[in-house]
Chain A
Amino acid sequence: MKIENTKAQMRKGVLEYCILSVLKDDDAYVAEILDTLKNAKLLVVEGTIYPLLTRLKNAGLLNYRWEESTSGPPRKYYGLTETGKLFLNELTITWSELQNAVNIVTSQKNKDNE
């Protein structure tokens, strides 16, 4: 088992959740989503996001609209659908539970080590 794999695995696992979170308040086009994710160092290369977005859209969690751009091709602005919002809420709950659980387990380990 390689550490890189596990790391990538962990990051990728929360990627969908993060994408939905980025779009929670406002619609955004891909570059904006990418900027946010890359700033958070959740994403190394951009290619990863396209299949994800398509899949979320196909699952009915996202929809998009076209907007003209002053510099470059027209942009796809993604937004959450109603289902997407419900989905996001579910994930948020799951995430905080998971975060808690991980915290408890890891701090427990730390105590043991001390």
Chain B
Amino acid sequence: MNKTVNINLAGIFFHIDEDAYLKLQRYLEAIKRSFTDSQGRSEIIADIEARIAELFNERVKNDRQVISIKEVDAVITIMGQPEDYLVDDEIFEDEPTPSYSKKSSTNKKLFRDTDNSYIGGVSSGLAHYFGIDTIWIRLAWVLLIFGAGTGILLYILLWILVPEAKTTAEKIMMTGAPVNISNIEKKIKDGFETVTETVGDVAKNVSSSVSDAVKHVDFEKQGNKIKSTSKGFFDTIGNIIMFFFKVFAKFIGVILILVGATSLIALIVGLFSVGAVNFIHIPGLDMIDVVNSGNTPVWLVSLLAFLTAGIPLFFIFYLGLKILINNLKSIGNIAKYSLFGLWIMSIIGLFIIGIRQASEHAFNESVVEKNELYITKNDTLKIKMIGSDLYRKNKYGHRDSFKVIKDDNGNKSIYRSDVRIIVKSTTDTIGSISIEKSADGRDHDKARERAKNINYSYQINRNELLLDSYLTTSVDNKFSDQEIIVYLNLPEGIIANFYKNTKSYLNYYSKSGNIVQQKYANRYIKILEDDIECLNCPIEDDENDFELKVNTPKVKINEDGIEIKADDTSLKIDNNGLKAKAEDVKVNIDANGINIETD
């Protein structure tokens, strides 16, 4: 069963099957596109329609018979394919274009496929030509580019040399399909469906591909050859300039894509590795939890950071794509604005977290524990640092290093080596040791609590003071700039020996009343009132020492002494003493006393 349509063909009425009607319609449409108005299109079509009506009429036995697809096919066979209508245009061609002949049209021709192009359509053109997928050609280009850039050169050459597939016929030829009605018609239909804008062009292409030859001939006939070539020349220059602009733009596009994509990937990897801390234990990453004194969830911070950095990167990537692919679909305004809003929000979020984090360090409080040091005059006190059993035992001098360590039971704690020793003298007969613990917090109480929670110990073994070289505290206290200052108040007159590993815990300068500086580590020093006396320091060379040697007839200055001679006067100072001589007077100062002689 088939639906029928009534048509009026050149004034004659026909019943025709629907499918047959559609085929006939497409056929006439294709023929119509083969002509331009200047060729008398409407008249030709009218003639053809009249002829088809005549042919149908011959085949219809009675009024009730319906034209089927069989009749339409027969008529098309008689009338010929649309390209057969091109007959007279070709006569003037020097070289017959093979595309217009049915048999040769099965040959593929190499064209640039600008419809599916990234740059110049060379790759997709080659892909059509070799009948493989475009991606392989593109991969080959990428490999060739790494091969000393030969790919770029080759590509540009092909771009210039290979013509672009402009007309429908050329586009069909490019794929190797025969140029016939169904293909042209399919191609036109594709054009309609995909980009409505270009439909006009495509339609024009079909007719212009047909009439191009004629137009060309007309140009030559009218002697306009010079005009057309000069026009061609400037067109070419314009094209070359445009070409370089395009290459440059695409190059920038590629760079943007690469930058955007790689940074995005890096960010995503980062996001997952940080965000997954709670699930997968990665050594060293527990630091984050400890530093995060604001107690903000780590995943939230990383998510906000990811959005803040990632959204601009995404837009960079998108921009690159947009440059490379002309007809890239827009992601839409809603998506754009919501991404922008999300970006602003994550910046604000990070800002707030930053303030919270900073406020955790707003107040610094300290607690002091004071103990007596039983040491009396003329005793010798030895001071030594002791490392942690758990971390960096026997390693000293890394001030401020900050770690999360585990004890044997697996309990985590914060380890820090911010310990300073300040030594002062006291007039008391016994000394004292004060441990000042300090920490940051968002308020006084919090800071004080954290300061109290610092674990620090020392031992006294007879005359030996063993100080911890580190402090520890529970992980819950977070990193809040915990510090230890050990104040040693030593009675005047005692002798102290700071072991050499104390060096980096001592102050370099004598600030805040400190009397023992780094240079006295490993020395025996006597505590004086607000000062010390080094007992076994090498004699300090006077920095201002310089040698002076004068050897003139009148003045001699050397290691032995000074000798100055005038006419009647002389002065001599040496190991023997002082000898001064004037005209009548001699003065000698030596081991024997002062001797003044006059004549």
Nearest chain A CB to B75 CB, angstrom units: 9
Flag the segment in B84-92, B433-441, B453-461, B533-541 that touches A. B84-92
- Residue from B44, B53, B57, B98 with most neighbouring chain A CB atoms (10 Å): B44
Nearest chain B CB to A38 CB, angstrom units: 9
| B21: interface (CB < 8 Å) | no
Contact status of A9 and B91, CB under 8 A, knowing A2-B104, A48-B85, A54-B47: yes
| A110: interface (CB < 8 Å) | no
Contact status of A50 and B57, CB under 8 A, knowing A2-B101, A55-B88: no
How big is chain B's contact interface, by range? 35 or more
Q: How far is the CA of A13 from the CA of B91 in the complex (A)?
A: 6
Contact A45 B43 (CB under 8 A): no
Flag the segment in A20-28, A70-78, A86-94, A98-106 that touches B. A70-78
| B238: interface (CB < 8 Å) | no
Nearest chain A CB to B114 CB, angstrom units: 28
Contact with A along B54-72 (1 / 0, CB 8 A): 1001100000000000000
Q: How far is the CA of A48 from the CA of B12 in the complex (A)?
A: 23
CB nearest to A16 among chain B residues: B88
Contact B48 A50 (CB under 8 A): yes
| B331: interface (CB < 8 Å) | no
| B50: interface (CB < 8 Å) | yes
How big is chain A's contact interface, by range? 20 to 34
Residue in contact with A5 in the complex, picked from B35, B44, B80, B101, CB distance below 8 Å: B101
Which residues of A lie under 8 Å from residue B11 when comparing CB positions?
73-74
Which residues of B lie under 8 Å from residue A8 when comparing CB positions?
96, 101
Residue in contact with B44 in the complex, picked from A4, A13, A50, A74, CB distance below 8 Å: A50
Contact A72 B54 (CB under 8 A): yes
Contact A12 B88 (CB under 8 A): yes
Contact A9 B39 (CB under 8 A): no
Q: How far is the CA of A58 from the CA of B86 in the complex (A)?
A: 17
| A37: interface (CB < 8 Å) | no
Q: How far is the CA of A5 from the CA of B31 in the complex (A)?
A: 21
Which residues of A lie under 8 Å from residue B85 when comparing CB positions?
47-48, 50-51
CB nearest to A8 among chain B residues: B101
Contact B48 A45 (CB under 8 A): no
Residue in contact with A73 in the complex, picked from B12, B39, B77, B86, CB distance below 8 Å: B12
Which residues of A lie under 8 Å from residue B88 when comparing CB positions?
12, 15-16, 51-52, 55
Which residues of A lie under 8 Å from residue B98 when comparing CB positions?
2, 5
Contact B35 A51 (CB under 8 A): yes
| A97: interface (CB < 8 Å) | no
Contact A47 B50 (CB under 8 A): no
Contact status of A51 and B80, CB under 8 A, knowing A2-B103, A4-B104, A9-B91: no
| B452: interface (CB < 8 Å) | no
Contact B40 A76 (CB under 8 A): no
CB nearest to B12 among chain A residues: A73
Contact status of A51 and B54, CB under 8 A, knowing A12-B87, A45-B79: no
Residue in contact with B53 in the complex, picked from A9, A15, A51, A72, CB distance below 8 Å: A72
Q: How far is the CA of A5 from the CA of B101 in the complex (A)?
A: 7
Contact A30 B47 (CB under 8 A): yes
Which residues of B lie under 8 Å from residue A52 when comparing CB positions?
87-88
Contact B78 A9 (CB under 8 A): no
Which residues of A lie under 8 Å from residue B77 when comparing CB positions?
45
Which residues of A lie under 8 Å from residue B96 when comparing CB positions?
2, 5-6, 8-9
Which residues of B (68-123) have their CB < 8 Å from a CB of A? 77-82, 84-88, 90-91, 96, 98, 101, 103-104
Which residues of B lie under 8 Å from residue A69 when comparing CB positions?
54
| B10: interface (CB < 8 Å) | yes
- Residue from A9, A51, A52, A76 with most neighbouring chain B CB atoms (10 Å): A51
Which residues of B lie under 8 Å from residue A74 when comparing CB positions?
11, 50
| B356: interface (CB < 8 Å) | no
CB nearest to A45 among chain B residues: B80
Which residues of B lie under 8 Å from residue A45 when comparing CB positions?
77-81, 84
Contact B90 A73 (CB under 8 A): no
Q: How far is the CA of A8 from the CA of B96 in the complex (A)?
A: 10
Contact with A along B11-35 (1 / 0, CB 8 A): 1100000000000000000010001
Contact status of A58 and B40, CB under 8 A, knowing A47-B48, A72-B12: yes
| B442: interface (CB < 8 Å) | no
| B565: interface (CB < 8 Å) | no
Nearest chain B CB to A30 CB, angstrom units: 6
Contact with B along A42-75 (1 / 0, CB 8 A): 0011111011111100100000000001011111
Q: How far is the CA of A20 from the CA of B77 in the complex (A)?
A: 25
Contact status of A71 and B51, CB under 8 A, knowing A9-B90, A13-B91: no
CB nearest to B79 among chain A residues: A47
Contact B47 A4 (CB under 8 A): no
Contact B44 A51 (CB under 8 A): yes
Residue in contact with B51 in the complex, picked from A2, A13, A31, A55, CB distance below 8 Å: A31
Contact status of A73 and B50, CB under 8 A, knowing A2-B104, A9-B91, A12-B90: yes
Q: How far is the CA of A102 from the CA of B485 in the complex (A)?
A: 120
Contact B54 A48 (CB under 8 A): no
Nearest chain A CB to B29 CB, angstrom units: 14
Nearest chain A CB to B506 CB, angstrom units: 101
Contact B44 A48 (CB under 8 A): no
Which residues of A lie under 8 Å from residue B86 when comparing CB positions?
51
Q: How far is the CA of A53 from the CA of B57 in the complex (A)?
A: 23
Contact status of A47 and B54, CB under 8 A, knowing A12-B88, A54-B39, A54-B44: no
Contact A47 B40 (CB under 8 A): no
Q: How far is the CA of A15 from the CA of B298 in the complex (A)?
A: 87
Which residues of B lie under 8 Å from residue A30 when comparing CB positions?
47, 50-51
A–B complex contacts, Cβ < 8 Å, 18 sampled: A2-B103, A4-B104, A6-B96, A16-B88, A45-B77, A45-B81, A45-B84, A46-B51, A46-B79, A47-B80, A48-B85, A50-B85, A51-B44, A54-B39, A55-B88, A72-B53, A74-B11, A74-B50
Q: A-B pairs with the 10 shortest C-beta distances?
A: A45-B80, A47-B80, A73-B10, A72-B57, A5-B96, A48-B87, A47-B79, A54-B40, A72-B54, A47-B85
17 further interface pairs, Cβ-Cβ under 8 Å (given A45-B77, A45-B78, A45-B81): A2-B103, A2-B104, A30-B47, A31-B54, A47-B31, A48-B80, A51-B39, A51-B44, A51-B88, A53-B47, A54-B40, A58-B40, A72-B53, A73-B9, A73-B10, A73-B54, A75-B50
Interface residues of B (CB under 8 A from A): 9-12, 31, 35, 39-40, 43-44, 47-48, 50-51, 53-54, 57-58, 77-82, 84-88, 90-91, 96, 98, 101, 103-104
